[in-house]
Structure 1
């Protein structure tokens, strides 16, 4: 829109010959001048904006139009769009991996589909005799027409992007039309021009101009925050399959078809399976476990037919970023999971508890079971907290859960390290079992072998302490006798987990091993047999090889 303002100003001034007698349009058509000025303004704006994919798309489209106009080869707008898309892909082939690429080009395509050839005003019918030309539309009529075109464009974009937004994010904003109706005109017509003008003025004059722009942005931020705080601001559902996306996209095109198209409203019916879908879950008595690839840390989602439990929450990467807001919450939203029945935080190390606060803030969680002290922030944030202790048991949908470690008396020993008090969980479903041992070390493994050897037997073992040299002792592995071991480790982690001698010990015992730094996230389906799927093996990209 900024480039359009510059182009409109250049077009007007050139046609008027800058209010001189130079007759500039006879030397060079005003349309070509406007195209050149608009392209130059767009290039400057895109460079200032960081050269993002949406900005690139706009720039390349304007460049294509300007080049076609200057070469007298101006063609259809659909060819311009396809040419711009081709230019983006040639310059940056990896742009196709960014959601902004698909959203920006889809938005333009939807605008063209819904408005091209339908928004031009029809000449008014006059009762005057034929020789008299019809009067031009009044200012009020032109304003009303502009508002109608803008509203129709927003309507087309909002509805047209619902399927692809659900495909990419598993959620769609309900309040975005209202937010866009406020934000787009304010930023494009007021804030951006003020910011550009203020950046060119002397300091004495720029301060009030930039201050006004800043005040408007603050007001806009408060308005958008009010919109986002609405109860139904966002609609979430599981990300659709590709075939469901195609079905919904066809219905959306039907809905946005021109007037006269039969029963256009039926296009909305194709949205029902898209928006009303529920998260998949295993059948009663079965179990599904997802071991996340969170880097050097641990986090697993355990699902029964009617309950979900999160065991550990991965690491904190920085003060603002952690596995909770970067991995777990996006995954839960993509699956359409809106609540957790429980969370276990095995101990206080940040590679296990770093994402807990983000998860507790992002999704309702029924209870938290942990070995954390009462003053810990996670304990304070939990709706209900219970300290984990051996002999705690519960059953969900035919699946049995039991805490094997630590002993309740261990909380009185202040000398114990957090690893030594890690919550150790055994899950049994349909004769198959899994043992999650947190970061327990050799001393705790020996205690478990001594007091609960009969309960340690499991088909799947999450390697204690990520396969460190202080865990996975031979007596412990012989007591567990797992068929499969999961090593939840980060790529080239500084601890060099799993240790080579420990990994070799597993292999010598004939235990199959999977590593999240090599296979990515691992999903286990417990039934009569255990079905294993690894993300990088089943949905691998070429750069994983």
Structure 2
């Protein structure tokens, strides 16, 4: 089973590296044929020979290619035709996400409900993707317009200055917009903006016309997703209101609801220099820690009630509570792609533990990998996908290699140091391949930052989100300030930077790590 899942993953990855999709008929025939062959081969009573196993691996790889091609073809249908680029369109839709402010305006995801009119009454109906990314630029002075960084911004600010009203998630608006198909820079080893939009189903970008229609139609559109986004906005406002002038309140908001817009460039530099960037956004580590804390708390309380114990065993109650906590935290974080992957992984583990089956570390991890790729085959395009599974796999690899378990603070400190060393060395080849840099002080920084952020700062930020008591946030900010002093001191040390190594060298380095 494990080899088959890895073969399926390689097939998904291979499809994402191709410049075009295979014909739809071939994709459907491959899906049906490979699935039928695997079912027939799996039902054979005798043990499979090496040839049969090789054919099964090949069928799984082909199935991965076909599955990824099927979903990619469906998403590619949601495209903006070239003839509608750069033309005025009047759209009615709902603000689908938390607006993100930038220097010249705000940017937000927009769910298109209808296209009401176009610039010409004789034109055919416009075809607009259901989810788009819109920018609303604020008015500026004329000397600032001449220094506008992009053609879209220059055109948007070419008219008289205006101030856009406040945009809130869940509101229905009528906008006059201009759209274009997604485009991103093609620099090797750089951030792929076009792939980022594609993975999130945002199939067009554009801006609100300054002199066009901008009318709020409804203050709130009822829907689970919109209600969650409105709750996130309310929590973000409570953070800013409690500590309006605090330098690190943006980090606390990012840990609670995944909103990173208030983290300054200098703070991001410190995080990169010390290798703790993964801790300053809602990552798999945070979701897992929150699930573990809730599971431990509910399990401890459940054992105090004889009646509850007779209805449901405490371990199962703890598993359910941990999964629900992880699900709630993922929703609060905007159900971003990294949190989705973590939730899928935890779901596989929770189901295995609930059923009483011991699948083993490797099977649990690979089943989570299969679930992620079935729901999100574009995950292989994200560096976080490879780093998260590599880190978890290393932790399992190191943890299961221990013969005995010693007790005491010295043994605990030794295990913690071993874990840090394994993750540092194990992810080094991938970090150099994906980011071309590595923080030499990251083991020391993470050794302190991981427990402080995971067990103190993040739980306090979430507690303030539930109980908005300013003193609670002040305590949390004070703890974060002490941590930032330590990280700023470590950030003075040099950063290892080099050109991206060849793939062959990276694979050889991974063998050396093992």
**Alignment TM class, shorter chain as reference:** 0.3 to 0.5
Q: Per chain length, whose mean CA-contact separation is higher, i.e. which structure has more relative contact order (CA < 8 Å, sep 6+)?
A: 2
Highest CA radius of gyration, 1 or 2? 1
TM-score, normalised relative to structure 2: 0.42
| Structure ranking higher in helix proportion | 2
